[in-house]
Amino acid sequence: MILRIIFAALIAVLPLAANAFEVFACEPEWASLVREIAGEDIQVTTATTAFQDPHYVQAKPSLIAAARNADLLICSGADLEIGWLPLLLRRAGNAAIQPGSPGNFVAADFVRRIEIPKVVDRSGGDVHPQGNPHIHLSPRNIERIAKALGERLIRINAGDADNIQNGLDDFLMRWDEATGRWEDEGESLRGMRLVAHHTSFSYLADWLNLDIVATLEPKPGVPPSGAYLSKLLAQLQASPPAAIIRTPYQNEKPSLWLAERVGTPAIVLPFTVGGTPQATDLFSLYDETIRLLREQQR
Ligand SMILES: [Zn+2]
């Protein structure tokens, strides 16, 4: 009888223990990816929303507390979070997720980065000295990162290995199918001329062969000045782009100023999960991005 009670108590406790795996994701796209692979019932804290610039985040007490309890941290890396994550990790004091630990997963380590500067000049204000860290808008990058993330999850949460492997296999199958569809839909966008606020969409452009002819920032992270915008205006008036694109968190003013004068629409792309009401997961993020760009075709 006593054994039976102990057994019943164990059964009651076990699911809790299995669910206790906690993830700290720096950006919404990684929170979505980890849920795709490990299932919806794992606990994920996301440090930023689609309406926050991931370059600049405050190491709030609630984030420090979440990092303190996390078994896995997943971030873009390539210096995207250099302004806030090192401080947050120091304050959290959680050995499991410090750089170099298996619980510290850096997505950018698994992809080929673009826009790596030949000469790094931090004094010039460039916030991308390691190349472009906004790696999630190429489905090929997501595929590579998903595979590496699946392996890492199994390594640190071996008790859930079968579930994770199944989740990964299922995700990769659906992702591959969706990628083929997006490439078909995106075929008509080839060569589309765009202006972007920041180099947020470079991997998307690289993948779909879009032509980002200029950015509103003279260098990544350097706000557009009036003089720089006037110079751009003079350049673009001769051959206006199809649209001026920005993320939900970027200042709308420079886009709207230029759009009005060049006579071209300024549009917001979701950029990450949650950026528009329709972009609720990684799949709908890509669906929406391509749909919005196709709307701008002339
Ligand atoms: Zn950036």
pLDDT of residue 298: 62
Confidence class of residue 279 from pLDDT cuts 50, 70 and 90?
very high
Q: Residue 184 contacts by C-beta under 8 Å, 6 or more apart in sequence? A: none
Please give the CATH topology (third level) of the domain spanning 190-295. Answer: Rossmann fold (3.40.50)
Please give the distance, rounded to the nearest whole angstrom, from the Cα atom of residue 294 to the centre of ligand 1. 24
Stretch 160-184: mean pLDDT: 98
Write down the domain spans for the chain.
Answer: 19-181, 190-295
Mean pLDDT calculated for residue range 56-79: 97
How much distance in Å is there from the Cα of 218 to the middle of ligand 1? 13
Q: Looking at the domain 19-181, which fold is it?
A: Rossmann fold (3.40.50)
Least confident of 66-70, 114-118, 179-183, 186-190: 114-118
Is pLDDT at 119 greater than 90 in this prediction?
Answer: no
Asked whether residue 46 carries a pLDDT value surpassing 90, the answer given is yes
Provide the sign of the torsion angle of the four alpha carbons 92, 93, 96, 101, taken in this order: positive
| pLDDT at residue 18 is higher than 50 | no
How confident is the model at residue 16, as a pLDDT? 46
CA of 126 to the centre of ligand 1 (A): 9
pLDDT at residue 297 in the model: 86
Q: Report the alpha-carbon distance of residue 83 to residue 72 in Å, rounded.
A: 20
Are the folds of 19-181 and 190-295 the same? yes
**158 Cα–ligand 1 center, Å:** 35
